[in-house]
């Protein structure tokens, strides 16, 4: 699964469109609006617009990254970078429809991104290739959509 795949992007957008301002999380502490902000900010992190505090090390960059990007689902309770955590220094939700549309626009624009656009680093995995950002981005969105039952 990858955000570079047209069909998989459309499936995520359809699931996002099932959310409402009243959608409740099945686990975790994020409200639906906070989750949307968190996912938009995660995309900004991949582009270098929100630089995270580097918490990576040799083990996470070389072993954990491979497992999370290619093998295992994102675990519930996985640590978010404080810069994209709305309960810390991440952006707070303003308007549900606006936040959802920002995320949909990010998803739809993903395929037009070039190698040069991916200037960011992951707070735990370090530098990622565009394909790895696409895979991790899909898994991240899927994880949070499942969190809200869609």
Neighbours of 91 (CB within 10 A): 18
pLDDT in tens, 62-115: 999 999 999 999 988 888 899 999 999 999 999 999 999 999 999 998 888 888
pLDDT in tens, 27-46: 999 999 999 999 999 989 89
Neighbours of 70 (CB within 10 A): 11
The pTM assigned to this predicted structure is: 0.93
pLDDT of residue 115: 87
pLDDT of residue 113: 87
Neighbours of 95 (CB within 10 A): 11
> Any idea which residue has 């630089």 for tokens?
51
Question: Which strand (E) or helix (H) includes residue 58?
Answer: helix 58-59
Looking at residue 111, the DSSP 8-state letter turns out to be: G
């Amino acid at each position: 699964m990858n955000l570079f795949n047209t069909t998989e992007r459309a499936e995520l957008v359809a699931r996002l469109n099932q959310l409402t301002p009243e959608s409740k999380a099945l686990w975790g502490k994020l409200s639906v609006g906070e989750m949307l902000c968190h996912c938009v900010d995660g995309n900004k992190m991949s582009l270098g617009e929100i630089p995270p505090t580097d918490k990576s090390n040799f083990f996470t960059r070389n072993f954990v990254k491979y497992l999370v990007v290619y093998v295992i689902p994102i675990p519930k309770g996985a640590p978010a970078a404080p810069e994209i955590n709305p309960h810390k220094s991440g952006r707070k939700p303003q308007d549900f429809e606006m936040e959802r549309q920002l995320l949909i626009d990010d998803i739809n624009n993903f395929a037009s991104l070039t190698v040069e656009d991916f200037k960011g680093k992951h707070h735990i995995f370090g530098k990622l290739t565009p394909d790895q950002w696409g895979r991790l981005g899909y898994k991240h969105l899927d994880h949070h959509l499942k969190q809200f039952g869609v």
